[in-house]
Amino acid sequence: MSKKTFLLLITAVSALGGLLFGYDTGVINGAQFYLSKFFVLDDVMKGWVVGSALLGCFVGAIVAGPLSVKFGRKQSLIISAILFSFSAYGSGLPELFPQTVSALVFFRIIGGLGIGIASMNAPMYIAEITPSDIRGKMVTYYQLAIVIGFFVVFLATYFIGNSLSETQNIELGWRRMFWSELIPSVLFLTLLFFVPQSPRWLALKGRDEEALAVLHKIHEEEVATKELEDIKESLSKSTDKVKVNYFSKVILGIIIIGTVLSVLQQFTGINAVLYYGADIFEKALGFGKEDVLAQQILLAFVNLIFTFVAMFTVDKFGRKPLIYIGSAGMILGFLLLGVSLQQQSVGIISLLGVLIFIGSFALSMGPVVWVILSEMFPNKIRSVAMSVAVAAQWAANYVVSQSFPVVMGSDVNNGPTWNGSLPYFIFIAFILVIVFVTYKYIPETKGKTLEEIEGFWEED
C-alpha cells in the first residue's frame, strides 16, 4: 500500500467520527416530529429531548482531554464509537425500559458523550498524523464528514418517514430513524481497530520506536526521522519533571484565543439555521410543513458542495483568507434575509440569503475552525486545550439553540422595527467580531509543521 493511500484511508476512518457527529445531531430533527406525538410532549419537554444530547456533548468534550492523554486518540475514538452504537440502539428501543421520556433522554445524552469525545479527538488525530502541506485539506475531511452525516441522515429520515403512514411513523418510524445510525457507528468501531496510534501521542508517552514506525508509513525515511526529532525537541522544552502550568500567561493566552474562535463558530448562527431550518422556511419564508424534510435536504446539499470547495482551497489560499471571504458571504446572506424580513418582502431574496449564508459558512468557519484548532496548540497541551475549546463550543451551541427561539418569539423581534429580523442582525455583529479576532490573534498556519506553529507563540 502506498503512503498516500495509507494516509487517505486512516483519515477517512477518523473522519467517520465527524459523520456520526452530523448523523447523531441530525437524526433527532427528523425523528422529533413523530416521537413528540408518541410521548405527547409539550414544547418544554420537546426542547429537552432535542437539546439533551448537547449536555452529553459538553461533558464528552471535557472528559475527552484526559482520555486522549491517558489512552491516546485512537482509543478515545473507539470509546466514542461504542457510545454512538449504544445510543442508537437504545434510543430506538425504549420498550426495553419503562416507556418514559427519561429513558430516551438518557440514550440521547450517551450519544452526546460520543459526539463530544469524537469532536475533539478526530480532527486532532488527523492533524497529528498528516504532512503539513496537505494538513488543512485532510482535517477538512472531518468537516466534510459532518456535512455528509447531516445530508445522509436527512435523506434517511425523509425516506423512512415517507415509506410509512403517519400512524406507523408515530409507533415505529422514529425508532427506525435512530436505528439507522447503527450502520455507520458499527462500521466506525470496526475500522478503528486497523488504524495506528498518533505518532505525537506515542512520542509523548516515550514510545519513540513505535512513533517512528508510524511516521515511516506516511513519510520518506529522512523526513520521518527529522519529524520525530522535531516532536521530541518540542516536548523536551517542557520536561516531564515539570508540570505544565496552564495558567501561565502564554499557555492561558493560547487556550483563550482558541476557545474564543471555537465559540464564535457557533455565534455565527449556523446551528440556529440547521436546527430550526424548517421553522425559518415555514414562518419566515412561507413554505408549507409538507416540504420540511425536503427543505432540510436543500440546506444540507449546499453545505456539502461548499465544504468541498473549502477542502480544495484551504491549503492553497490559507486559513485566514477563507475566514475573511466566508465572513463577507455570511454577512451578505444574513443582510439579504434580515432586510427582506424587516421590509416584509419575504421571497426568493430571503431564500437566497439563507443559502448564501450556509455556503459561506461551509467555505470558512465550518471547516477552517476545526483545522486551526487541531494545529494551533503546542504538543504538550494539545489534548487539554482542544478539550477546553471544544467543550466551550458545545456550551455556545446550547446557548444559541436555546436562545434563538426565545429571541424569535420576543415582542421586540416581532414589533414594527424588526419584523422578525433581529436574530440575524445579532449574528452579523458576531461575524464582525470573528473578522477582528482572526486578523488580530490567529496565526496563518498554512504549510507549517505543528512544531513550527508552536514557535509562533514563543515569538509572540
Q: What is the mean pLDDT of each run of 10 residues along the chain (460 residues)?
A: 89 93 84 86 80 91 94 96 95 69 92 95 93 91 91 86 89 92 96 94 92 92 90 71 74 94 96 72 61 70 92 94 98 95 85 92 96 91 92 92 84 92 96 97 90 74
Closest CA to 76 of 207, 192, 181: 192
CA dist., res. 121 & res. 387, Å (int): 9
Return the C-alpha cell found at 17.
467520527
Helix (H) or strand (E) holding 104: helix 101-129
- Supply the pTM of this predicted model: 0.85
What is the model's pLDDT at position 427?
A: 97
Report the distance separating Cα 156 and Cα 29, nearest Å.
Answer: 12
Cα–Cα–Cα angle for 377, 379, 385, rounded to 5 degrees: 45
Q: What angle do CA 267, 273, 279 make, to 5 degrees?
A: 135
How high is the pLDDT of residue 314? 95
> How far is it, in rounded angstroms, from Cα 195 to Cα 286?
48
Choose among 216, 263, 280: nearest CA to 390. Answer: 263
| Distance from C-alpha of 129 to C-alpha of 374, rounded to nearest angstrom | 11
At 182, list the grid cell.
447503527
- Look up residue 46 and give its three cell numbers: 420537546
For residue 244, what pLDDT is reported? 74
Q: Which three cell numbers stand for residue 376?
A: 494551533
Q: What is the pLDDT of residue 284?
A: 60
Residue 93's Cβ-count burial label (10 Å; 0-12, 13-18, 19+) is middle
The pLDDT assigned to 379 comes to: 85
DSSP 135: H
Per-residue pLDDT at 98: 58
232-241 long-range contacts, Cβ below 8 Å, gap at least 24?
232/203, 232/208, 233/451, 234/378, 234/379, 234/380, 234/450, 234/451, 234/454, 235/203, 235/204, 235/379, 235/380, 237/380, 238/380
Distance CA 311, CA 51 (A): 30
Q: Are 161 and 30 in contact (CB under 8 A)?
A: yes
